[in-house]
Structures are given as C-alpha cells and as structure tokens.
Amino acid sequence: MAGFLVRRSLHGAVLVALAASLTYLLAASALRPRAHFEQRNPRPPAAVVDAELTALNLNDRTPLLRRYAVWAGGVLRGDFGRTLAGEPVAPELWRRALVSLRLLAVGTVLGAVLGVLAGAYAAARRHRPADRLITVGSFAVLSTPVFVLAVLLQLGAERINQITGVRIFEWAGEYTPGAAEGALGRLRHLVLPTLTVVLVQAAVFGRYQRHLMLDVLDADFVRTAMARGLTRRQALVRHGLRTALVPTATYFAYTFGFVLLGAMFTEKIFGWHGMGEWLIDSVHRGDVNAVAAVALLAAVLVLLAGAAADIAHAILDPRVRAGR
C-alpha cells in the first residue's frame, strides 16, 4: 500500500509542475500587464513602464523563457512574485486560500457524503417514488448552471427573510472575524455559498453512486451474504455499498477540479473574497503572477484530493493493500 501511495504521489507532483508551468506560460503569453500601467492618467513614460514591468518580471519584451525561469526559481524558494500593485503574492494567496477552504471543505465533503447516501438509497428503492424523486432532483440540479443555482438560492433566501422578518441568511461577502454577531454571523454568511457547493456535489455523486449500486444489487457476493443469514439491507450496506464505493473514491479526485471551477462563480456571486474571485479579477487586470499562483495552488489541492481518493481506494479495496 505504501509503495502504491508513493508512486501516485510522485506522478501527481510531476503533473502539478507541468500544470503550473503551462499556466504561467499561457498567462504570460496571453495577458497584457503593460496595459495596466499605460492606462494610468497621466500616462507614464514608456521607460518608466518598462522599468516597473521588469521589476515585477512581467515585461513582455523580456524573452518568455527567461521570465519563466525567474518565476520558477522564485516558486522553489516560496516566492510567488509580486502583484501589479507591487505587493507580495504569497500573503494574499494564503489569505484567499483560507477563505476558499472555509467554503470548500464543508461543501465538498458534505455534498459527496449526501450524494453517495442518496444514490445508494435510490438504487435500493429503484422504480419507486423515492428513486424517481432523487433522480429528478439530481437532473434538475445538474442541468442548472452554478451561477443560476446561486441566484435562485439568493432569491429563495430573500423570500424567507421577508416572510420571517429576520435576516436569517446573508450573502454580501464572507464573515469578518471579530464582528459582534460571533459564530452565528459566520454561519449566516456560510450557509448559501456552502449549500450551492453541496447541492452540485450531491447531484453528481448521487447519479454516479446510483448506477454503481445497481450493478451490485444482484451480484453473487450479495446473494451469498444473504444466504449466510444477513438481511438484504445488511448485505447491501456491508458488502454492496463498500464495493460500489471503490470507483466513487477514484471519481472524487476527478470531480474536485470541477468543484474548484464552480466555486469561482459561487465566490463571485456571493461576494466571497477567496481564490476564485481573485483569479477572475487577476485575469481581468492581466496580473500574471497572481493567476499563476492561484493555478499552482489549485493544482496542489487537486493533487491532495487525489491522494485522499487513493487512500480511500486502498482502504476499501483489499487488492491494493496486498500490492496487486
């Protein structure tokens, strides 16, 4: 098992390096940080613009590979460069990352768990009202773009606030630590963006887990377990669900990238000042170093999600633990 995890980690590290490098090269080629300085009023002299861009390692007149070498060397030392405003990227990146993880950690895990349970239950109740309800609900969420789903939740929350006469829900940005509302205020700001992530995750995993459970409902090992005295529910939970969870664990790593993408829209709509919002604003400004830093951290998060999926796979599948 240890060898399996080490090999997967090494492969993941190589992929992170490639993804981060390609992102930087693409951003440095396509974005125009020079326009950020030239649009100032009054417009600075060309020599001043060149000097500022060179100091930030953003001068498009410097060969691309030379800029990449400087950036990569800095990353190896923990230096992600500076923003167009001249501020270090690293402190802002970590602050934004903590804000995003506050949203993603609960939403991703809770959505995956609820989706697996809903999918397994729907399969066990196939062709019954519960199965149809879960299936229709999953299709409805999956067919709704994330930004539309977020707006619908806002409208519903606003209606609830009007009916109750109390500001139960808030969505004007992440909660500011130290506010007088305390933990309740933090929770009010977290509910709607987290619920957006949960609904999307639950719909994705619900559909996937249902199909996997349908494949094992009448499997030989389930019938054998029932012949040995287990009830159908016990056989499905102890043997069927565990077997069906093996591909789900692998699927989790592949979906995490889409979760990050959806979180960008979620953060922007709810005014949640995390990595997603910063990435969108940085692309608009042409801030290459900020874009590359967010992409690198996103690749690392996907790698960690893959590592968690590999560990779950190893726990669920005895063949992996045996080194087969």
Query: What local confidence, expressed as pLDDT, does residue 323 receive?
Result: 54
Residues 205 and 310 in one domain: no
If one counts every other C-beta atom within 10 angstroms of the C-beta of residue 188, the result is 17
* pLDDT level of residue 102 (50, 70, 90 thresholds): confident
In a domain, 89, yes or no: no
pLDDT digits (tens, 9 = 90+) for 126-177: 888 988 999 899 999 988 888 888 889 888 888 888 888 887 787 764 444 4
Domain residue limits at 246: 94-285
Residues 174 and 276 in one domain: yes
Q: What is the mean pLDDT of residues 276-304?
A: 89
User: What predicted TM-score, i.e. pTM, was given to this entire model?
Assistant: 0.78
Residues 201 and 292 in one domain: no
Residues 294 and 273 in one domain: no
Query: What local confidence, expressed as pLDDT, does residue 183 receive?
Result: 61
Residues 112 and 252 in one domain: yes
Residue 180, pLDDT above cutoff 60: no
In a domain, 157, yes or no: yes
Query: Helices 241-270 and 275-285: crossing angle, nearest 10°?
Result: 50
pLDDT: which is higher, 157 or 313:
157
Residue 184, pLDDT above cutoff 90: no
Distance of CA 174 to the CA centre of its chain: 17
* pLDDT level of residue 267 (50, 70, 90 thresholds): confident
| Cβ neighbourhood burial of 227 (10 Å; 0-12, 13-18, 19+) | exposed
| Weakest-pLDDT range from 59-63, 81-85, 161-165 | 161-165
Residues 197 and 229 in one domain: yes
Query: What local confidence, expressed as pLDDT, does residue 85 receive?
Result: 87
Residues 150 and 275 in one domain: yes
Q: Of 190, 166, 195, 165, which is closest to residue 176 (Cα–Cα)?
A: 190
- Residue pair 248/205 in contact (Cβ under 8 Å)? The answer is yes
Q: What is the mean pLDDT of residues 288-305?
A: 89
What's the CATH number where 236 sits? 1.10.3720.10
Number of domains in the chain: 2
Q: If you count DSSP H runs as helices and E runs as strands, how many of each does the chain have, helices first?
A: 14, 0
Q: What is the mean pLDDT of residues 229-246?
A: 77
The DSSP annotation for 50-86 comes to HHHHHHTT--TTS-HHHHHHHHHHHHHTT---B-TTS
Residues 302 and 277 in one domain: no
Query: Helices 64-76 and 288-316: crossing angle, nearest 10°?
Result: 50
Q: What is the mean pLDDT of residues 187-199?
A: 85
Residues 121 and 73 in one domain: no
